[in-house]
């Protein structure tokens, strides 16, 4: 049977039953073909196929918009407890297309979600998992530096390109141009991006050189938004950067903190931002170990 006829049959069988479009088999090719050995096929949907009375010879090619909706729903359900199950399903949908467009869409959907600060670490873990397990047969339709990127390398390229684009764009808001809720939304997205970048660095997805470039750029623009972002970033990556420096005899962190000490007394910054700067400086002075708050000290003393 020709490819187009197979797709038509899939649509006719599944019309009105999109809720049953769960992962079944990875490709549209003939499952008996020597180019598609059984070890490479995913067979998770025998019961669904049996319920729909679909011959096992027919394989699903999931339409882009359905995969997109499914991935978005899965991202909304992503938690540490469900991480393995949900990430495996997302990887299935990522592998359903060979041209890389689904990888780019997954990056876009992750960036729509990373402004939730509590989930930045788990989204970074998801990216790491995708880089490890995305099918190497997925190939970019355009060359990068005279070669076609594949699989996890292609996903990483899309991910880092989006990080760079959003970081360069910034999230400074002209309050004369935006309503207050819009300003809050943009600020939240910007701080979410900073947290996400920090978590990607901790997993060695973002290089040390890139992280230093981010810090230097923030220090060159010592305004409220940049300093808040810098403090968030240092809280996430500072300990790791110091550790790398101590092993490589580098001295890049010291000038950063000298500059931060100067800025902590700047009349151009609010007391809130100065307090954030002093907190990060104090954290580093204490070997990146948070000091006990007064309330915690009181609780300890009361239990003695």
State pLDDT tens for residues 157-166. Answer: 999 999 999 9
- Region 170-174: mean pLDDT is 65
pLDDT in the model for residue 289: 92
Confidence band (pLDDT; 50, 70, 90) for 173?
low
Residues 36 and 105 in one domain: no
- 153, 177, 206: which is the final residue of a domain? 206
In a domain, 215, yes or no: no
Greater confidence (301 vs 180) lies with: 180
Instruction: Produce one character per residue of 234-271: b if its CB has 16 or more CB atoms within 10 Å, e if not.
Output: bbbbbbbbbeeeeeeeeeebeebbebbeebbeeeebee
Supply the pTM of this predicted model.
0.74
Residues 134 and 170 in one domain: yes
Confidence band (pLDDT; 50, 70, 90) for 117?
low
pLDDT in the model for residue 267: 93
Out of 36-40, 200-204, 251-255, least confident range: 36-40
Out of 31-45, 76-90, 125-139, least confident range: 31-45
- Give the chain's end-to-end CA distance (angstroms, integer): 79
CATH classification of the domain holding 159 = 1.25.40.180
* Alpha-carbon gap, residue 219 to 216, rounded angstroms: 5
Confidence band (pLDDT; 50, 70, 90) for 115?
low
Greater confidence (42 vs 82) lies with: 82
In a domain, 111, yes or no: yes
pLDDT in the model for residue 172: 64
* Alpha-carbon gap, residue 201 to 220, rounded angstroms: 21
- 156, 180, 206: which is the final residue of a domain? 206
Chain length of the chain: 304
Phi and psi at residue 147, to the nearest 5°: -150, 155
In a domain, 30, yes or no: yes
Q: State the residue range of the domain holding 157.
A: 64-206
Residues 16 and 105 in one domain: no
Residues 159 and 40 in one domain: no
Sign (positive/negative) of CA torsion 78, 80, 82, 83? positive
Confidence band (pLDDT; 50, 70, 90) for 205?
very high
Residues 124 and 194 in one domain: yes
The position carrying tokens 């729509």 is 112
pLDDT in the model for residue 304: 44
pLDDT in the model for residue 69: 93
In a domain, 191, yes or no: yes
pLDDT in the model for residue 255: 95
Q: Of 15, 8, 6, which Cα lies nearest the Cα of 52? A: 15
pLDDT in the model for residue 293: 55
Domain count of the chain? Answer: 2
* Alpha-carbon gap, residue 111 to 181, rounded angstroms: 19
In a domain, 192, yes or no: yes
* Alpha-carbon gap, residue 175 to 178, rounded angstroms: 5
In a domain, 256, yes or no: no
pLDDT digits over 133-156, tens only? 999 888 876 767 777 888 889 999
Query: Secondary structure of the chain in the HEC alphabet?
Result: CCHHHHHHHHHHHHCCCHHHCCCCCCCCCCCCCCCCCHHHCCCCCHHHHHHCCCCCCCCCCCCHHHHHHHHHHHHHHCCCCCHHHHHHHHHHHHCCCCCCHHHHHHHHHHHHHCCCHHHHHHHHHHHHHHHHHCCCCCECCCCECCECCEHHHHHHHHHHHHHHHHHHHCCCCCCCCCCHHHHHHHHHHHHHHHHHHHHHHHCCCCCHHHHHHHHHHHHHCCCHHHHHHHHHHHHHHHHHHHHHHHHHCCCCHHHHHHHHHHHCCCCCCCHHHHHHHHHHHHHHHCCCCCCCCHHHHHHHHHHC
Residues 69 and 197 in one domain: yes
Do residues 115 and 188 lie in contact, with contact meaning Cβ atoms separated by under 8 Å? yes
* Alpha-carbon gap, residue 73 to 89, rounded angstroms: 11
* Alpha-carbon gap, residue 85 to 71, rounded angstroms: 13
* Alpha-carbon gap, residue 17 to 232, rounded angstroms: 46
Residues 199 and 83 in one domain: yes
Residues 68 and 46 in one domain: no
Residues 69 and 138 in one domain: yes
Residues 46 and 69 in one domain: no
Residues 70 and 47 in one domain: no
In a domain, 234, yes or no: no
pLDDT in the model for residue 222: 85
Confidence band (pLDDT; 50, 70, 90) for 118?
confident
Most confident of 16-25, 59-68, 110-119, 210-219: 210-219
pLDDT in the model for residue 259: 96
- 206, 232, 266: which is the final residue of a domain? 206
In a domain, 40, yes or no: yes
pLDDT in the model for residue 5: 36
pLDDT in the model for residue 278: 96
pLDDT digits over 15-73, tens only? 344 433 444 333 333 344 444 444 444 444 444 445 444 444 444 578 888 989 999 99
Taking the CB of residue 47, how many other CB atoms lie within 10 A of it? Answer: 10
Residues 87 and 162 in one domain: yes
Would you call 12 exposed, middle or buried from its count of C-beta atoms within 10 A (0-12, 13-18, 19+)? exposed
């Amino acid at each position: 049977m020709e490819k187009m006829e197979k797709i038509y049959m899939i649509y006719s069988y599944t019309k009105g039953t999109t809720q049953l479009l769960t992962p079944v088999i990875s490709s549209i090719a003939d499952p008996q073909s020597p180019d598609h050995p059984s070890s490479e096929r995913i067979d998770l949907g025998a019961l669904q196929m049996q319920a729909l009375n679909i011959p096992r010879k027919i394989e699903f090619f999931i339409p882009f918009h359905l995969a997109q909706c499914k991935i978005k729903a899965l991202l909304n359900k992503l938690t540490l407890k469900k991480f393995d199950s949900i990430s495996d399903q997302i990887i299935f949908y990522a592998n359903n297309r060979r041209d890389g467009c689904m990888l780019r869409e997954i990056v876009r959907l992750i960036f729509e979600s990373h402004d939730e600060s509590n989930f930045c670490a788990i989204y970074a873990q998801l990216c790491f998992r995708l880089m490890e397990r995305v099918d190497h047969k997925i190939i970019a339709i355009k060359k990068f530096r005279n070669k076609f990127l594949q699989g996890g390398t292609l996903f990483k390229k899309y991910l880092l390109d989006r990080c760079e684009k959003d970081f360069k764009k910034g999230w400074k808001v002209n309050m004369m141009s935006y309503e207050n809720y819009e300003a809050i939304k943009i600020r939240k997205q910007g701080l979410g991006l900073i947290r996400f970048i920090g978590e990607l660095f901790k997993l060695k997805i973002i290089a040390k050189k890139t992280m230093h470039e981010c810090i230097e750029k923030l220090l060159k623009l010592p305004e409220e938004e940049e300093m808040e972002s810098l403090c968030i970033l240092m809280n996430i990556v500072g300990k790791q950067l110091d550790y790398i420096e101590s092993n490589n005899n580098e001295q890049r962190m010291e000038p950063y903190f000298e500059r931060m000490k100067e800025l902590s007394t700047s009349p151009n910054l609010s007391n809130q931002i100065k307090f954030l700067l002093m907190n990060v400086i104090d954290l580093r002075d204490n070997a990146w170990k948070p000091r006990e708050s007064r309330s915690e000290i009181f609780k300890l003393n009361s239990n003695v």
